[in-house]
A and B are shown apart, each in its own frame.
Chain A
Amino acid sequence: MSDVASVSPGRSLWADAWARLKANRAATFSALYLVLMTVVCLIGPLLTSHAFTTIYPDYVRTPPSLAPYPRADTIEKSLRDAVKRARIEISGWRQEGARVFVAVSSAKPIDERVVRYLDRSDTFEDAKVEEKSADGLKLTMSGRVEHKYFYFGTDNSGRDLLTRTLIAGRVSLAIGLLAGFVAVAIGVVYGATSGLMGGKTDEVMMRIVDILYSLPFIFFVIMLVVFFGRNFVLMFLAVGAVLWLDMARIVRGQALSLRRQEYVQAAEALGVRQSGILIRHIIPNLLGPVVIYMTLLVPQVIILESFLSFLGLGVQEPMASWGVLISAGAKNIGTADWLLVFPSIFLTSTLFALNFIGDGLRDALDPKDR
């Protein structure tokens, strides 16, 4: 048919909303920021040259700095610490370029394997014996000073905070998105069904929601933890299972009003089954508010997770989430404020961005603006 080929395309409401969203600078910027944040959290930990579990005993609570560690004044201390562990005396040391030469002596002959003590220190690498006296009581060894960067400083155990913040970002964003999706999926189907069916079914379904509402959230999570142990997946479930209640109520309200729309009546008159009405008419038409609510739900989930982690019910060491890091930072606020500052900046800026996007979406999807 000739017509089939030359159909002029239509512009859906979604396309309209998209164009309006693109015109909103705060929302566009926030979306870009979020994408950037996600990419950085995914790729960043591979590039920081620290594993998030590595502990550097020499660098406990090192303040953030763009300059490499160790500093000149700390080299001697690290050196003395390392040599002391070998139970030999240090008789003198000097630095030549990147290498440090140290002369040691002992009452007993020195085993050449003492260089391992230097290697074991976080400050030196590539240690070797330079010369050894004939009686073996004196020995000179050298090691290269190992430069390390801690842009965000290190935590109480001497782990790199930058790496940990990025790893924590993965966890927080994943929980936020997944639990958000769980909540939305359950909430939309449940709420839409309830709203569309109406009458007794609606009554019963919403009373179930009320009952679940009345369960204290923390109690619920503690129960889950007690029965199933601490588990990453469980976090999604717990948070998602609680937050779908709000979603269900919002969606039910929308569905109730959509049900009275004339196009739903028209569909009924066509003989469309309830499931068809639900899928073709109700759900697509309530997706607008759902999308908006979801962007506001994700920050809520991230905060909830932070709260749980703060209480010690969330993710477990050495894994981290922003909530875990912030809670650790809060304990050290007097002595190591960077532990609080950096994770907080990451968390709040992400939440800001999400809220801006939510705002932008609401403006873009609001039909009254048309």
Chain B
Amino acid sequence: MAEPILALKNIKVNFQTLDGIVEAVKGVSLDVKAGETVAIVGESGSGKSQLMMGTMGLLASNGSIAGVADYRGTNLVGLPKPELNSIRGRKITMIFQEPMTSLDPLYTIGNQLIEPIMHHQKIGWDQANARAIDMMKLVKIQEPERRMGSYPHEMSGGQRQRVMIAMALANDPDLLIADEPTTALDVTIQAEILELMASLQKRLGMGMIFITHDLNIVRRIASRVVVMRYGEVVEEGDAKAIFKQPKHAYTKALLDAEPSGRKAPPAAKAPKILDGTSVSVTFKIGGGFMAGPPLLLKAVDRVSVTLKQGQTIGIVGESGSGKSTLARALLRLVPSEGAISFEGKDIAKLDREEMRPLRKQIQIVLQDPFGSLSPRMTAGQIVTEGLLVHEPSMTSRKRDQRAVQALEEVQLDPKLRNRYPHEFSGGQRQRIAIARAIILKPRLIVLDEPTSALDRQVQSQIIELLRNLQKANNLSYLFISHDLAVVRAMADHIIVMKDGRVVEQGTPDEVLENPREPYTKRLMAAAFA
């Protein structure tokens, strides 16, 4: 067996906070050999990122690390910065989650690639430039010479992540640490990036540490898996063995977290709740006084949707396909063309005031459980805000009772209702958002990617909750997601969107088992590979 490149022994990471010391990592040991991919899997908060950040000396100012991180005989923990810098960024490199923010928007891609190459390899600009172009070719960016002059905002998320990989590989590292590199990307692009990383890793023979919460990815890329929970390693071993025979209960739970089950379609004569005919949304970009005519962008192009009582329509598509915009148009939150009726009443031409009474019937749950709750309000205030609007005569005592009821319905301890959003976990926050929607007893809820920011396990709990709520209250859902596994478990009718148009629709079996459109096939391949 080859010598390990990096061997972590009993690494501990602590954070000094206002509430005392928080132990993020409680003594973790693991090692990576050349040519090996180790995946560190765990929910958010399991300390998997902090472990590697600590090793690389990138902790926040209130963090501290103890233990031994042995890189080819050098202990990285406590190494002075100049020496650490000769290893970090050169021999051990990192890729982060957000391709949007990891690149400096003020410099061209070329600049950002060449700079570190010149710095670490002590070579001139011309050589570094040639090396940078080679790297761009390596990560399969089209027309690398032209792309060198582009700014980050001119590239898509996937391309940016490729640039990040090129940067990380430019100095021939021994070890690449990838911290959720594909989480922010669309599923189809995710698949491409993973493939690229796997092939590069084989070709260059380096070690790789892959941090993720998504077991799907692990299955595809890792040779060894380390499962972390609450800052400790609960299970470690060969990837195949772990997937076949997980030993620890937590690993089993993670593996079973894949959403399962199907939803039966509603009765054929169920009344129509929402009916949109040929709905279009056009955004104006630029234009105005002295700027010439604006650029018109059709975000949604003549889409028709009919939602029946008790039905769940899943809207699937990549980011930018117009699925969220369609939902907002149907809710009259963005201006649109076409006919929209709610329970037989035409609502397309209603203004703000006339829409207000109807808002009680139509609710929305948004994607980001961090962004969709106002940080300055307590959970109780957030949940009852709708009551202030629609039942203004209600006493505060009665409102409080309703909040307790709603929180119980979403299985959240009502005693926590005086807490603020930042004191809750992602899953709990999403429950609060759902409580806010159901407290008004709506007929229809639009769920805009309600589970995509959550860990798998929490995801399946939320899906379970949504299904139960639907059964209990005969709700209709418009379920937007890019995650086909979730949609399959939730929806009884699926609409696939691309570039603002519907490319395919039908029951989950029709669409997912026998996709006709190449686009749907690609989505399927990426999701269930």
A-side residues, CB < 8 A to B, are: 1, 3-4, 6-14, 16, 19-20, 23, 261-263, 265-273, 276, 280-281, 284-285, 287, 367, 370
Contact = CB atoms under 8 A, between A and B. Distances in A.
A8 B364 contact: no
Contacts of B423: 10-11
A262 B376 contact: no
Which 10 pairs between the two chains have the least Cβ-Cβ distance? A271-B359, A10-B419, A262-B372, A284-B376, A262-B371, A270-B386, A269-B364, A263-B374, A271-B356, A262-B366
B436 interface: yes
Given A271-B390, A273-B389, A7 B376 contact: no
Given A3-B404, A262-B366, A268 B333 contact: yes
Interface stretch (B244-252, B410-418, B483-491, B509-517): B410-418
Nearest to B61: A369
Contacts of B357: 271
Contacts of A276: 388-389
A3 B371 contact: no
Contacts of B18: 16, 19-20, 23
B374 A281 contact: yes
B377 interface: yes
A13 B420 contact: yes
B450 to A, nearest CB: 12
Contacts of A11: 419-420, 423
Contact of A271 (B374, B377, B389, B436): B389
Contact of A266 (B358, B414, B415, B433): B433
13 contacts: A3-B415, A11-B420, A11-B423, A13-B422, A14-B376, A261-B371, A266-B372, A270-B385, A270-B436, A271-B359, A272-B388, A280-B385, A285-B375
Contacts of A262: 366-368, 371-372
B459 to A, nearest CB: 18
B400 interface: yes
Central interface residue in A3, A11, A271, by most chain B CB within 10 Å: A271
A31 B366 CA distance: 42
A78 to B, nearest CB: 64
Central interface residue in A3, A9, A265, by most chain B CB within 10 Å: A3
B363 interface: yes
Given A3-B415, A265-B333, A272-B386, 14 more contacts: A1-B404, A6-B415, A7-B415, A9-B419, A263-B374, A266-B366, A266-B436, A270-B440, A271-B356, A271-B389, A272-B389, A281-B374, A285-B374, A285-B376
A271 B358 CA distance: 8
Central interface residue in A6, A266, A284, by most chain B CB within 10 Å: A266
A270 B385 CA distance: 8
Interface string B359-396: 11011101110011111111100100110111000000
B355 interface: yes
B401 interface: yes
B420 A12 contact: yes
Contacts of A281: 374
Contacts of B480: none
Contacts of A268: 333
A234 to B, nearest CB: 36
B300 interface: no
A284 B374 contact: yes
A4 B414 CA distance: 9
